[in-house]
Amino acid sequence: MKEWWVQVGLLSVPLLAIYLHIPPPKLSPALLSWRSSGGYFTYKDQNIFYRDSTGAVGSSDVVVLLHGFPTSSYDWCKIWEGLTQRFHRVIALDFVGFGFSDKPRPHRYSIFEQASIVEGLVRHLGLRHQRINLLSHDYGDTVAQELLHRDWQMWSKTLVALQLCSLTSFQGFSLKRTTLGSSRRLCSTSRHHPLRNNRFLFSILQYINQRKKHRDRWVGALMSTSVPLHLIYGPLDPVNPHPEFLQLYKKVLPMSTVSVLDDHISHYPQLEDPTGFLNAYLNFINSF
């Protein structure tokens, strides 16, 4: 009788082959609608998905939304309509490697590249000399910090559902206008099977090491910027535990204003409490 592990191995081979050829899940109607309402621009041969909605009449304000890991621009779906009632342009993109954007492999994914892609989108849309508001979350917070480090004078206000790189993590961080100019959904928007994505995800996750390596650069950008900052915070966030995180944030960035949402709000405040999040953001924006 063959050893049991040989039998298991022989059985596993065909099962694994079947598993690898299972197609990815179909997109939900909501995601199909999200994709159809957007478009693509090219950054260094990569197709980058973005949405650009024209909203409030009589306003010239623009807001650019930067999503987190491992999600996509769809993270902003619950506050999109509310933002279009305040801003003339509401813009969001899927970073390379996320959502509907290309997922090249092998590829050296980096925060620096993602920031350059945001700059590329701003140029593509003809907004290079317009003052812009930034709204970011999680991974997008570090991208926002790199943009601040580059000292773009286009940034006006920054509200970040922010994660503060190596300081620790923020969730809701925002900058006042400066001129620049999540995922449970990654698998549903990716064309590649999760098991095949192991090396791909490892490459994407290098941003964690980048946060540690470039801590002084990115935390320093927040500490030295003249752009107004705001944090929207959910006290139940396991990544940014309360009250330690809030105490540290206020100590490091005493010039930033803060909105604390209800006690049950966690790491995705724009999805968990879209009304509270939107009100907090607009109160910040309208205070200038």
Per-residue pLDDT of the chain (288 residues; tens, 9 = 90+): 456 555 555 555 565 555 556 677 789 999 999 999 999 999 999 999 999 999 888 788 999 999 999 899 999 999 999 999 999 999 999 999 999 999 998 899 999 999 999 999 999 999 988 888 999 999 999 999 999 998 755 666 555 444 333 344 454 555 544 433 322 223 223 334 444 456 777 788 888 899 989 999 999 999 998 889 999 999 999 888 899 989 989 999 999 999 999 999 999 999 999 999 999 999 999 988
pLDDT at 79: 97
* Domain-embedded: residue 68: yes
* Domain-embedded: residue 6: no
Element (H, E) at 280: helix 274-285
SS (H, E, C) 216-261: HHHHHHHHHCCCCEEEEECCCCCCCCCCHHHHHHHHHCCCCEEEEC
pLDDT at 54: 92
* Domain-embedded: residue 231: yes
Q: What is the CATH number of the domain that holds 85?
A: 3.40.50.1820
* Domain-embedded: residue 178: no
pLDDT at 185: 28
Into how many domains does the chain fold?
A: 1
* Domain-embedded: residue 27: no
* Domain-embedded: residue 175: no
Tokens 């990815």 -> residue: 24
* Domain-embedded: residue 225: yes
Tokens representing 130 are: 């317009």
pLDDT at 8: 53
Domain enclosing residue 282, as ranges: 47-165+194-286
* Amino acid identity for residue 288 in this structure: F
CB atoms under 10 Å from CB of 169, counted, come to: 22
Verdict on whether the full-model pTM lies above 0.95: no
pLDDT at 269: 94
Tokens 């959904």 -> residue: 185
* Domain-embedded: residue 187: no
- The Cα 108–Cα 230 span in angstroms is 31
pLDDT at 200: 74
